[in-house]
Amino acid sequence: MRYRKFKADFIFDGKNILGEDKVLITNENGVIETIVNEAEAGDGVQAFKGWLSPGFINCHCHLELSHMNNVIESGTGLVDFLITVVGKRGFEKAIIAEAIKAADTEMYENGIVAVGDICNTADTIPAKHVSKIRYYNFIEAIGFTNNNISIVFERFIKLYNNFIIEELTDASIVPHAPYTISSAMFELINNASAGKIVSIHNQETEAENELYRTKTGDFFKLYQQLNINTGFFQPYGKSSLPSYLTLLSKAKNLLLVHNTFTTQADIDFAFQQSKANQQQVFWCFCPNANLYIENQLPDIKLFIDNDCNIVLGTDSYSSNYSLNLLDEMRTLQTHFPFLETERMLQWATYNGAAALGIQDRYGSFEKGKQPGILLITNFRDKKLMQTSAATRIV
């Protein structure tokens, strides 16, 4: 057996940073053997300038929207953004396929090894077949009313089966967002995804909370535009999260995405629910998309103070300029300078792998795992700089 040995300024192992006297040893396929002191490593150690890290996990993407780069103006707010996506997402199949392939390659090259990917179509299946990235496919259901709900749901089961038949078996049917899912639709999703990983866009705009509190606000514009009868919708008198979270009681892991307008009371409610249902809740932040759409970021410190499981996502090219987790970390550190790089790296590696249920292989330098090895360069006082970049060395 041939071994490969790596050292750098620091080794981030998925949770902690280890000093420069450590050497990471893998077998020839990049499967982790051990981390030892340099004195015990023997010869043939490759030395790098920068930090070594396990590969990144992008917990929220819409690969199938990769052709929408620069199609939607930034700063419109979520409701106008959604209306524009629905109106403009149709392109020639060949253009869509080409953009999907390019985005998959881009993510791989900048260090992403696994992706939680939202799917409204089967467009990404060919690219996923040949991709070096591992995908968890979230088949996204949308169903506003309780009428004909089982017929509507059939469509999502069919799409789900498309992925399963193609042996893309890391998949589950998930709700798009609370405001696009009726109570009957929530029930079908909850049953279909029992014991699986479920993702939902959560509290991306204040209008979502307003809708649930008082049945007023910007979302009525969306419903009107889509010709949706809002008679079914009952205001709950509280914010969005406590109004719907009980309807996702059967998922193993719950991935709440965005959380831009989430409060302490919402976090408390989520903790209670997850305990009662023996679930794990993960809070996924996509800061560049938040700035693109709403020009507002979640209260990151609130989630840290509450010991929340935090993960990161890029969202899609319809609301971002890159699919690069280091760009997301850089944005967070710019707006929240107290954030240590190693804390965000744990979100992007160890936590992300746990959220997608793939920690047997990904997310940390532990014996037997094959998480990929990244070199991250250009730090100042352990903080990221504009020139920092992640490249793959294994």
Of 50 and 116, which CB lies nearer to Zn ion in the complex structure?
Answer: 116
Smallest distance, Å, CB 264 to Zn ion? 24
Task: For 275-322, give the secondary structure using H, E and C.
Answer: HHHCCEEEEEECHHHHHHHCCCCCCHHHHHHCCCEEEECCCCCCCCCC
Indicate the residue whose CB is closest to Zn ion.
Answer: 315
Q: How far is CA 226 from CA 144, 229, 230, in A?
A: 10, 9, 11
Closer to Zn ion at the Cβ: 117 or 315? 315
Beta carbons within 8 Å of 192's beta carbon, 6+ residues apart: 157, 160, 172, 173
Closer by beta carbon to Zn ion, 34 or else 74: 74
Question: Could you give the angle at which helices 206-214 and 78-88 cross, rounded to 10 degrees?
Answer: 100
Report 291-330 residues binding Zn ion (CB under 5 A).
Answer: 315
Please say which residue, 315 or 328, places its beta carbon nearer to Zn ion.
315
- The distance of closest approach from Cβ of residue 118 to Zn ion in the complex, given in angstroms and rounded to an integer, is 6
Host H or E run for residue 140: strand 134-141
Sheet containing 112-119: give its strands across.
56-61, 112-119, 134-141, 171-175
Smallest distance from the beta carbon of 286 to Zn ion, in angstroms?
7
Least separation in angstroms between residue 180's CB and Zn ion is 12
Closest approach, Cβ 201 to Zn ion, in A, equals 6
The distance of Cα 184 from the centroid of its chain, to the nearest Å, equals 26
Print the binding letters for residues 186-215 with Zn ion: x by CB under 5 A, - otherwise: ------------------------------
Q: In this structure, what are the phi and psi dihedrals at residue 185, rounded to the nearest 5 degrees? A: -65, -40
Q: Which is nearer to Zn ion, 18 or 85 (CB)?
A: 85
Least gap, CB of 60 to Zn ion (angstroms): 6
To Zn ion, the closest distance from the beta carbon of 65 in angstroms equals: 9
- With CB under 5 A as the rule, give the number of residues binding Zn ion: 1
Q: How far is the CB of 214 from Zn ion (least distance, A)?
A: 25
Q: Where are the alpha helices (DSSP H) in the chain?
A: 78-88, 93-109, 125-130, 149-165, 183-192, 206-214, 219-225, 240-244, 264-277, 287-293, 300-305, 325-335, 341-346, 352-355
CA angle 359, 66, 104 (to 5 degrees): 45
Least distance (Å) between residue 394 CB and Zn ion: 30
Pairing label, strands 253-258, 56-61: unpaired
If the CB atoms of residues 201 and 369 are measured against Zn ion, the closer one turns out to be 201
Of 312, 336, 313, 334, the closest CA to residue 385 belongs to 334
- Map residue 92 onto helix, strand or coil: coil
Judge whether 266 and 239 are in contact, CB under 8 Å.
yes
Kindly tell me which of 210 and 315 has the beta carbon lying closer to Zn ion.
315
5 or 176: CB nearest Zn ion: 176
Rounded-to-integer distance, Cα 323 and Cα 328, Å: 9
Residue among 314 and 370 whose Cβ is closer to Zn ion: 314
Q: Cβ of residue 380: shortest distance to Zn ion, in angstroms? A: 32
The token pair that represents 352 in the structure block: 């992300």
As a whole number of angstroms, the distance between CA 225 and CA 79 comes to: 10
CA–CA separation, 219 and 290 (whole Å) = 18
Closest to Zn ion by CB, 78 or 345: 78
Which residues contact Zn ion (rule: CB under 5 A)?
315
